Structure 1
Amino acid sequence: MRVLGIDPGSRHTGYGVVENDGKRLVPVLYGSLSLPASMGLPMRLGSIFTEIRRLIEEARPTEMAVEAVFVARNARSALILGHARGAAMAAGIHGGLQVFEYSALEIKQAVVGYGKAEKGQVAHMVRLLLGLHDLQDPHAADALAAAVCHIHARSFHTRCSLAQRL
């Protein structure tokens, strides 16, 4: 299984592709799209869509995991974030991927073991789990965490499904 994780944002969208080879998690590709504030929102959304489609063609993931929208104090910020998520999800669907959503709590729980972990703790565990000691980009770390969360969730559901059939 090869999963594209996305940490959506209208200015910075993190991406990370992780493969589960059956024995370990292997990072394939990661980074972030940084879009200038001077670029209008419609152009940034178009760039997110285009770049994620390019990443899908390059890395050939089989599924996509996206962090779900959190409740924000600022409705305008939440709306803009929702647009960025929509552009990313549309790119995934357009690229033939199944798209899955996970809350920040679920991602932190899967990666750190504690749903209220700090961002730094998540990044540290991503570095350890994937052997990426030089990973400095927080957006890429969050995207990789979403991919790892999805791989764990799929593995758990597979094991549970097998156990229930016995």
Structure 2
Amino acid sequence: CNNLWLDLQRLHDRLSQSGPVLGLPLIRNEKTVDPTDPTSPRTLQLETAMGAAIEVFPGARAIVVERGRFLPVKTTNELMLLRSDVFTLAEDARLVTDLPKLPGIDLDPRHYKTINQFDERVQIVPSLRDARSLRVRGDWTFSHPVHVTGDATLEDNGQQQSVPPDLH
């Protein structure tokens, strides 16, 4: 669930009846203690899916909200899109795009998984307005303006490289 809207009075009433526990199912999520270090100790994160809360509120309903109303950023792939020229700031302070379809971004998780890795390698975000997709494999640095057109792939040659200005 990306967004959850609640009636706070109904939540208060439910918690007053049941105590501080809603009885939602637990999800077991395996992670490393330090997400930037895959060799750090493994740990378990226990969490609940808030969307499951619909089961504990009689009369609750799900509504569909169009994708244009929110822009989730859970990966550096989505971050690159958000920081690029694909989006503009509307008068009502929403980020909007006029593209019929967003370009697909696939950054090598070995080099772009964390925000620190991303910021180290993406010093200048490429222009993606004319891109259909960008696939990056290996350790590439975006250190000068780059214009991506159509479907572009940067292959891994085993060493750090700088992205060329025009990428097709």
Q: Name which structure has the greater RCO, CA cutoff 8 Å, separation 6+.
A: 1
TM-score normalised by length of structure 2: 0.24
The structure whose residues are more often helix, as a share, is 1
Larger Rg: 2
